[in-house]
Amino acid sequence: MSKREDEGCARKRKTEAGPKSEDCTRPDSPVIAAFKVFQHELDTKHDKYERLVKISRDVTIESKRTIFLLHRVTSVPDVEEILNEADVKLDGVRQKIGQIAEELKGEDLHQFHRAFTPGIQEYVEAVSFHHFIKHRTLISLEEINARLVFMRENKGEGEVVWASPSVLTFQITPIDYLLGVADLTGELMRMCISSVGNGDIDTPFQLSGFLREIHDGFSYIGNTGPYEVSKKLHTLRQSLGKVEDACYTLRVRGSEIPKHMLADVFSSRPATHLDREDPMV
């Protein structure tokens, strides 16, 4: 075939393909209509994801403020006043979590889990810290979820409120619960050092036994659990090491060090005896 004939065939093929490509660009094309539906679904999902991220940030901020407030129990005479104030703050955090439950209504939780998991972990840390100060025990996942039940008014057309309100629930996943408890150990270590600095010698020994039980519980999971949990085992072991180091110093050298210097001594000494353990399997 000559070059001129080949060019003629190419022009013929382009002419034949022309009307088909024009059909795809028409506004009433079924392909365009299908992609518009996809665009709307993706935009809706992305907007919901961004709203959940913003709510999660608010939950994180308020939970951290609650934790900072609870650390004052080691230096104030009226512990109940601090606990009551923390209860009010935690109620506000739960209302924020109620907004997350509204956003997830009818949705797959795991599609948006990464958007709100940092805030939920911080809430678990705050509520478990509050529960430990009040009861000296670890709050269970069932107890946390039992408080995440919300009543919402059903609104019809024209903002008319229907008679029966709806019930929304939010269930914290076991992974978020474990990650929140792992972060709790760091707050308990800080509470131990603050207690010693204020002359409280009994609290470090209570915290040491409690942290050892948490550490033993996590050791059963080992490397078989979620990756995020195994990453926090190192920090957990460091916190336990510092608390045990403080208890050792109090028991052996407590009479040699002035009470107002104990906190500085403990905070400046690294805890390395747990870091030399073999990795848990």
Annotated binding site for Mg(2+): 125, 187
Contacts of 221 (CB under 8 A, 6+ apart): 178, 229, 230
Beta strands 149-152 and 166-169, pairing class: antiparallel
Q: How many CB atoms lie within 10 A of CB 70?
A: 23
Phi, psi of 55 (to 5 degrees): -65, -40
C-alpha dist (Å) from residue 46 to 56, 89, 112:
15, 30, 10
Q: How many CB atoms lie within 10 A of CB 248?
A: 14
Q: How many CB atoms lie within 10 A of CB 55?
A: 20
Maximum pairwise Cα distance, the chain: 106
Half-sphere exposure of residue 245: CA atoms within 13 angstroms, side-chain side? 21
- Known binding positions: 125, 187
Q: How many CB atoms lie within 10 A of CB 56?
A: 24
Distance, in Å, from the CA atom of 107 to the CA atom of 12, rounded to the nearest integer, reads: 51
Judge whether 58 and 42 are in contact, CB under 8 Å.
no
Comparing CA positions, the residue from 167, 179, 166 lying closest to residue 120 is 179
Distance, in Å, from the CA atom of 247 to the CA atom of 267, rounded to the nearest integer, reads: 13
